[in-house]
Amino acid sequence: MAYEYRNLSAKERKEVVEKRKKQGYPAHSPPHPFREEGTYLITAANYEHQHILENPTRRTAFEKLVLNNFQKIGAEIIAWVILTNHYHLLLNVDAFEIISDNLRYIHGSTSYQWNKEDKLTGKRKIWYRFSDRAIRNEKHLQRSLNYIHYNPVKHGLVEDVYAWKWSSLFLYEDEKGKAWLQENWKKYKPSSHFGKRWDDL
């Protein structure tokens, strides 16, 4: 993860940066190798994974802000989950730039608002950029959807996915039913390493 970079020796840091440059990636931020129309799994976290979204009221307001803003720009929101220190979105867009432009606005406005609310203006960084993964095929899409819905359990926030209300799980339950969700999980269960190292250097 990005902040693990601090624990590396000078030689190790240089090797990491050189490797990233050879791959055509930015030196210290998540790469965005695909910049075209398509479906993307987006992940963004509070800086150093602080639990800035721990307050349920803040989480609800943030969920509404994210969904409303992406709907306004015509993105198809396939799935989402808002956790206490990060969130995931599965989006279909006509151009990648609308994702980065919209997240810049969302992250900028919430940083200002939350630091003002918490009396930490000028003292706290809220977000650490975002990561994206282009969805390759139907299997990848369904595994991503299941990964998103299972995320609150994965991170120990609840023991049952239905106990976490800040996700698109209930939309799928209403439209397709629990039986469909269970069958889809069996067919497209994410592997244990799915989603790991998304915020690497």
Q: How far is residue 72 from each of residues 37, 80, 87, 88, 99, measured CA to CA in Å? A: 17, 16, 19, 19, 12
Average pLDDT for 73-100: 94
Domains and CATH numbers, the chain: 1-30 (no CATH), 32-187 (3.30.70.1290)
Q: Is a pLDDT exceeding 60 seen at residue 16?
A: no
- Residue 193, pLDDT score: 74
* pTM of the full structure: 0.80
The model's pLDDT over 90-135, given as tens digits with 9 standing for 90+, comes to 999 988 888 999 999 999 999 999 999 999 999 999 998 899 999 9
- Residue 88, pLDDT score: 97
* pLDDT class of 7 with cuts at 50, 70, 90: low
Closest by CA position to 152, among listed 139, 140, 169: 169
Q: Where are the alpha helices (DSSP H) in 73-96?
A: none
- Residue 46, pLDDT score: 97
Distance from the first to the final alpha carbon of the chain: 6
* pLDDT class of 150 with cuts at 50, 70, 90: very high
* pLDDT class of 23 with cuts at 50, 70, 90: very low
Please give the Cα distance from 2 to 31 (Å, whole number): 12
